[in-house]
């Protein structure tokens, strides 16, 4: 229900406030939060007071504001991503033991790639693909492998939009992307260097859920000069098959899954 001059609902304004926090700026002043959320200071002040009362925003000792633990608690209670992560982690650990760089698990969500888990090496210099980070579908190996196994209508929707280059090697032409999607379906994996981060190669395979729908992408991210694709792909495929079996056992046929949300 809207009760503002702009007609925007209270929920929409709360979402704008909560979305203003990110990895680069996890805490800020009230005025900074209002500015990032694009809300009048008085509106932000009123909403923040309620959010602090319910623990969704916390007020730090220095007066700055940050996302509250209550937000994490509520999200985790019924999260489909949490169930997927718990099922996938043992298999991801096997891949990580072989890769020694980054192993990620990602899903499609609202037209982007959303990373729901990442295992990392302390010696890796890659500062990307963090948990809860999003990437454009066409600029991530995980996105391309998920798109390749998505219904034609989903592919058409993604490719109909303007596609921006994240790096000089990001593929933005719909015809070329369709060619790559066909090759990915044939091979069962994707390994394209530099499309999301110039110095790195993402090697991704699909994870299938009930009904053999692509539920997630399992991805190894390695320095491009160390991308031993013939060695990494079997480890990814073995782990992806294990996760797929676990998903199908845990989730009855017909129940909601992760695909293309």
pLDDT single digits (tens) 184-222: 999 999 999 999 999 999 999 999 988 888 999 999 999
Query: How many other β-carbons are positioned within 10 Å of the β-carbon of residue 258?
Result: 24
Determine contact, residues 67/58, Cβ cutoff 8 Å: yes
pLDDT at 254: 45
Which domains can be identified in the chain, with CATH numbers? 10-74 (1.10.10.10), 79-250 (3.30.450.40)
86 φ, ψ (degrees, to nearest 5): -65, -40
pLDDT single digits (tens) 131-164: 888 999 999 999 999 999 999 999 999 999 999 9
Three-class SS state of 74: helix
C-alpha 51: how far from chain center = 26
134 φ, ψ (degrees, to nearest 5): -115, 150
Polymer length of the chain: 261
Question: What's the pTM value of the predicted model, to 2 decimals?
Answer: 0.79
Q: How confident is the model at residue 79 (pLDDT cuts 50, 70, 90)?
A: low
Q: How confident is the model at residue 253 (pLDDT cuts 50, 70, 90)?
A: very low
Question: Which one has a higher pLDDT value, 192 or 250?
Answer: 192
Share of the chain above pLDDT 90, in %: 70
Determine contact, residues 96/119, Cβ cutoff 8 Å: yes
Identify the CA nearest to 118 among candidates 256, 137, 135, 227. Answer: 135
pLDDT at 256: 45
Identify the CA nearest to 130 among candidates 140, 111, 146, 117. Answer: 117
Could you tell me which residues come within 8 angstroms of residue 122 by beta carbon, excluding any fewer than 6 positions away? none
Q: How confident is the model at residue 231 (pLDDT cuts 50, 70, 90)?
A: very high
Residue 126 has pLDDT above 90, yes or no: no
């Amino acid at each position: 229900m809207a009760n503002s001059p702009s007609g925007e609902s209270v929920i929409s304004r709360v979402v704008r406030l909560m979305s203003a926090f990110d990895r680069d700026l996890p805490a800020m002043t009230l005025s900074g939060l209002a500015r990032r959320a694009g809300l009048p200071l008085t509106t932000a002040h009123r909403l923040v007071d309620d959010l602090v009362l319910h623990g969704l925003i916390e007020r730090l000792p220095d007066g700055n504001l940050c996302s509250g633990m209550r937000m994490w608690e509520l999200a985790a209670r019924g999260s489909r991503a949490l169930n997927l992560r718990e099922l996938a982690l043992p298999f991801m650990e096997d891949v990580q033991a072989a890769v020694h760089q980054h192993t990620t698990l990602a899903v499609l969500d609202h037209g982007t790639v959303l990373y729901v888990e990442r295992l990392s090496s302390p010696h890796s210099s890659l500062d990307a693909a963090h948990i809860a980070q999003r990437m454009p579908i066409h600029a991530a190996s995980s996105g391309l492998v998920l798109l390749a196994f998505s219904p034609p209508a989903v592919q058409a929707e993604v490719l109909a939009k303007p596609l921006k280059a994240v790096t000089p090697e990001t593929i933005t032409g719909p015809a070329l992307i369709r060619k790559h999607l066909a090759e990915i379906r044939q091979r069962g994996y994707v390994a394209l260097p530099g499309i999301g981060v110039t110095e790195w190669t993402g090697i991704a395979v699909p994870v299938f859920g009930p009904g053999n729908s692509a539920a997630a992408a399992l991805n190894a991210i390695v320095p491009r000069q160390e991308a031993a694709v013939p060695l990494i792909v079997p480890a990814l495929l073995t782990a992806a098959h294990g996760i797929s079996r676990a998903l199908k056992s845990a989730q009855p046929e017909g129940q909601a899954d992760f695909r293309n949300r």
